[in-house]
Chain A
Amino acid sequence: MEQDEAVIKIEVTGLRKSYVERRLKRRFLSQCKHQEDCKVLDGLTFSIEAGTFACFIGPSGCGKSTMFRIISGFERPTSGQVLIDGKEVMGPDSRHVCVFQEDGLFPWLTARQNISMGLRKAGSDQSMDSVEEYLDLVGLSGFGDHYPHELSGGMRRRAEVARALITSPDILFMDEPFGALDFVTRLQMREEMVNVHQMFDMTILFITHDIDEALQLGDRIIMLSDRPSKVAWDIVLDEPHPRDLSSGTLRELRRQIYYKMGLHVAL
């Protein structure tokens, strides 16, 4: 816990989202019938303090991405309130940078050009040197003039993170950013995220389907139930970094999470 005043960065109250099922055939996992109101989020409430690394987990299709889009400002809720810095979210904000599930790096620009895009928007007068700095930071020095299609998946993600970081954002929103990567790269990226969080003072809202990932990264873990989603569990995780996933506390947590999700797996 922070010693000084805990500032609430993100406050979500009673968040609900429904849409009308337009398709005649049922979507996979959808219980909704044609023309019927389909509830995805059914009253989410939580608040996140500044500087927290908050991880969201939940079963597939439970609405994590929908929640993500609403909080980051790309969609409006059906009812409920999302406040950031005490103000209602009206749309996407350049101080709250998103890293989406799919590749968001602009393929027509080099890595360097992509990253410096973040520069201009921040309105700061940092020079090209800082682009080099950030390339270095994510381990891509020497690859600055490569185009995304010339980089591996992991390198692309890292470039995207660099692009996000160079704007010195208040909040970093990440929606299953490492899902498409291979196992080893994913582990490396996790390590980088921890470093990034410790280096920069920012709030991170991180969605993942990988429970171990949440345990490894999060100061706070919020679990969503199956749709219509509610908050099923909300805990604070105090473990210092680096974390050993086989340690007792984490094993116990994992067991509890599995149990709450209805999974019965022998550890």
Chain B
Amino acid sequence: MAMKKAGFVMVFLLVLFFWQVVTAVFHVPEYMFPRPGDVALALWQMAKSGRLFESSVASLFRVTWGFYLAAATAIPLGLFLGRKRLFRHMLNPLIQFLRPISPLAWIPIALMWFGIGDRPAIFLIFLASFFPLVVSTISSVLNIRTTYLRVAENFGLKGISLYTRVILPAALPEIITAIRITLGTAWLVIVAAEMIAVKSGLGYLIIDARNSLRMDMVVAGMIVIGVIGLVLDFLVRLLERLPSIEWSRMRR
């Protein structure tokens, strides 16, 4: 454990060192890429003025709502489609058609339907998360070992209780993995999603800083985005360690 922490700190310091040296030695002008010192200062200023907290809260708010809505609709739908072949064959072409359309292409429609503010951003996060989650959930249901399904049938489990007591728990480890990956995508999309006319958020902070030609704030914002992304990933990994999820990794 101590080794892991030491290793991480070393890598971090190395990156900082490299960064400082390169920008100094090559006389990189400030408008192209800022020095570590400038970025640290910008971080400090944004933290002090409360802008950092406000922006992080706004972005997290939108990602939370968008992602939760997507999960609440995509996972049940995926479980159902995984089981019902007829519906799956009917809906699959539609899903595969909509999936590759970048959420960003939906921006004009999002603005038209939801106006300005939080709602179009939440909608875009929803879109970015919904399709991958449905597809992964379907796949995880199809991957359930037949034996479990037979045992369930044997014990007379049917209907809703079949889903809650067998299908969902059996598919859950794969679903959690899909959640981890999709959450990463959602967090990635927020930067683009916040290019719409909202007054707040980390993505907006970056666009705004760039409009003001403040590269130091841009990089500071990027760092905050990266750190939060890391924390989110870590939290989902914690979920993966629950014994009722962990079993999937433990298979010999």
Of the listed stretches A99-107, A199-207, A231-239, chain B binds A99-107
Of the listed stretches B113-121, B151-159, B179-187, chain A binds B151-159
Most buried by A among B148, B154, B246, B250: B154
Most buried by A among B145, B148, B170, B246: B148
**B151, A106: Cβ atoms under 8 Å?**
yes
**B148, A106: Cβ atoms under 8 Å?**
yes
Separation of A108 and B174 alpha carbons in the complex (Å): 13
**B155, A117: Cβ atoms under 8 Å?**
yes
**B147, A102: Cβ atoms under 8 Å?**
yes
**B166, A104: Cβ atoms under 8 Å?**
no
Residues of A close to B148: CB separation below 8 A: 104, 106
**B154, A92: Cβ atoms under 8 Å?**
yes
Separation of A74 and B154 alpha carbons in the complex (Å): 9
Assuming the contacts A74-B150, A92-B150, asked whether A106 and B155 have C-beta atoms less than 8 A apart, the reply is no
**B147, A107: Cβ atoms under 8 Å?**
no
Q: Is A165 at the interface (CB under 8 A from chain B)? A: no
Q: Is B20 at the interface (CB under 8 A from chain A)? A: no
Q: How near does chain B come to A157, taking the closest CB pair, in angstroms?
A: 13
Separation of A147 and B243 alpha carbons in the complex (Å): 7
| Residues of chain A from 86 to 109 with CB closer than 8 A to chain B in the complex | 91-94, 96-98, 100, 102-104, 106-109
Chain B: CB-nearest residue to A153: B252
Interface size class of B (residues with CB under 8 A): 20 to 34
Assuming the contacts A74-B153, A149-B251, asked whether A102 and B145 have C-beta atoms less than 8 A apart, the reply is yes
Residues of A close to B170: CB separation below 8 A: 106, 108
**B169, A92: Cβ atoms under 8 Å?**
no
Q: How near does chain B come to A131, taking the closest CB pair, in angstroms?
A: 15
Q: Is B244 at the interface (CB under 8 A from chain A)? A: yes
Residues of A close to B150: CB separation below 8 A: 74, 92, 98, 100, 104
| Residues of chain B from 102 to 144 with CB closer than 8 A to chain A in the complex | none
Q: How near does chain A come to B214, taking the closest CB pair, in angstroms?
A: 51
Q: Is A148 at the interface (CB under 8 A from chain B)? A: yes
Q: How near does chain A come to B244, taking the closest CB pair, in angstroms?
A: 4
Partner of A108, one of B157, B247, B251: B247
Q: Is A118 at the interface (CB under 8 A from chain B)? A: yes
Chain A: CB-nearest residue to B244: A108
Separation of A121 and B251 alpha carbons in the complex (Å): 28
**B247, A147: Cβ atoms under 8 Å?**
yes
**B151, A108: Cβ atoms under 8 Å?**
no
| Residues of chain A from 125 to 175 with CB closer than 8 A to chain B in the complex | 147-149
Chain B: CB-nearest residue to A107: B247
Assuming the contacts A102-B145, A147-B243, asked whether A107 and B248 have C-beta atoms less than 8 A apart, the reply is yes
Chain A: CB-nearest residue to B150: A74
Chain A: CB-nearest residue to B172: A108
Contacts from B to A (Cβ < 8 Å): 145, 147-148, 150-151, 153-157, 166, 169-170, 172, 243-248, 250-251
7 residue pairs, one from A and one from B, having the closest CB atoms: A107-B247, A149-B250, A108-B244, A94-B156, A108-B169, A104-B151, A102-B147
Known: A103-B147, A108-B244. 20 other contacts (CB 8 A): A74-B150, A93-B154, A94-B156, A98-B151, A98-B154, A100-B147, A102-B145, A102-B147, A104-B147, A106-B148, A106-B169, A106-B170, A108-B247, A109-B169, A117-B155, A121-B155, A121-B157, A147-B243, A147-B244, A149-B251
